[in-house]
Amino acid sequence: MKQMDELKPIPRKRKPNQTGAFLAGIIGVIIGALLVWILTPTDKLPQNNSVLNNDKQPSQQEQVNFDIHTDITDIVDQVANTVVGVTNLQTVKDIWSSDEMTRETGTGSGVIYKKENGKAYIVSNHHVVENAEILEITFDDGTKAEGRLVGSDMWTDLAVIEIDDDSVENVAAFGNSDLLKRGETVIAIGNPLGLGFSGSVTVGVVSGKDRSIPIDFNHDGRVDWHADVLQTDAAINPGNSGGALINLAGELIGINSMKISQETVEGIGLAIPINLAAPIIDKLERYGEVVRPTMGVTLIDLSSIPAQQQVVLNLPNDVKEGVVVNEIVPNSPADVAGVKRYDVVIEMDGERITDMITLRKHLYNEKEVGDTMTMKVYREGKLVEINMTLEDGTTF
């Protein structure tokens, strides 16, 4: 039996040297990094002194200054010094003694619109200057001057103040509020919340034109007047009253007057259009008051008279609106023209009269002292036409 051949080990394939390959890769990375470092300009490498030099303070970033100019900033620079603060000072009694002292009772704003013969003139709101014993004017640079009330008008909420022109540099130019468009940019300048925020600038658009806002002058819960105003979403707050509403031509196109102050209402500011304000400003400056035509009567809204009492008026069933003549002043235009008590006014110069507000607006906005007015009234159930010549006065 042949002896079996001695078993021989099967030769294995030799594995590549892994350690050598790893070292070769590391060396390749290092060489590549060195080549990049050598070939890259040093001014493009990031500098971080706080990392490279721990014992040195981080370098300060270079500050770049830009002088920003826009249409709005240029306009504000041009007109800001025409807007002033108006402080209403009155004598009040100390609650702890009988001593009297002069105290600030309110602040508002005003706009310098005219300068001549050593005087300058400021337009503001009636409610800003109402009952003031002293008016203190604060300019944009903080200097102060004493103001003298020339005149004010409750119905339009406008007032004119006179000052010496020593500190006056510029005056505001009147624009044309009739040309305003909805969406047009406007700038409001004034002193919201008092002189601590003097010269504040807010920017918005014309939200609406020909707005009619009800006003209760004596706070009896009944509307006395409807003010025609511009609506803007530029922020207007207490203290802005009397300030300027400016267009992008740098022109005064409104006198900021009031703000609807309800928690549910935001972004509604109101201003008196300059085209309505200008003739009132002129009358206040020249005469110290606005002389309005009068009929010489006292009136009651027909709608406020109970139905049982309306029976005595003997009105047609379809007459539901109008104004009832309650009393007639002797020798007044109404008396001379033959107006009778309980006449119900329904029309003036062809314009329908529904209540005392529409009657006031026609009388105050459409007529002048000395004008002839044609009025239609119901008298004992019959329609009567009356012509009268208006005179000046402080009542209807």
Residues with active-site annotation: 127, 157, 241
Looking from the CA of 226 toward its CB, the CA atoms found within 13 Å total: 14
Between CA 330 and CA 324 the distance in angstroms is 18
Q: Which two tokens stand for residue 162?
A: 């006179």
DSSP one-letter code for 339: -
First to last CA, the chain: 154
Question: Which neighbouring-strand residues pair with 300?
Answer: 324
**Residue among 224, 262, 272, 294 at smallest CA distance from 126:** 272
Q: What is the three-class DSSP state of 299?
A: strand
Give the residue ranges of DSSP H helices in the chain: 18-39, 49-52, 71-79, 126-129, 274-287, 307-310, 333-337, 356-361
Q: What is the three-class DSSP state of 362?
A: helix
**Residue among 206, 204, 217 at smallest CA distance from 153:** 217
Q: Which two tokens stand for residue 238?
A: 């207490």
Between CA 123 and CA 112 the distance in angstroms is 7
The Cβ of residue 83 has, within 10 Å, a number of other Cβ atoms equal to 29
Please state the separation of Cα 273 from the chain's center in Å: 11
DSSP 48-95: -HHHH-TTSPPPPPPPP------HHHHHHHHHGGGEEEEEEEEEEE-T
Sign of the alpha-carbon dihedral angle for 105, 109, 111, 116: positive
- The size of the chain, in residues, is 396
The Cβ of residue 208 has, within 10 Å, a number of other Cβ atoms equal to 14
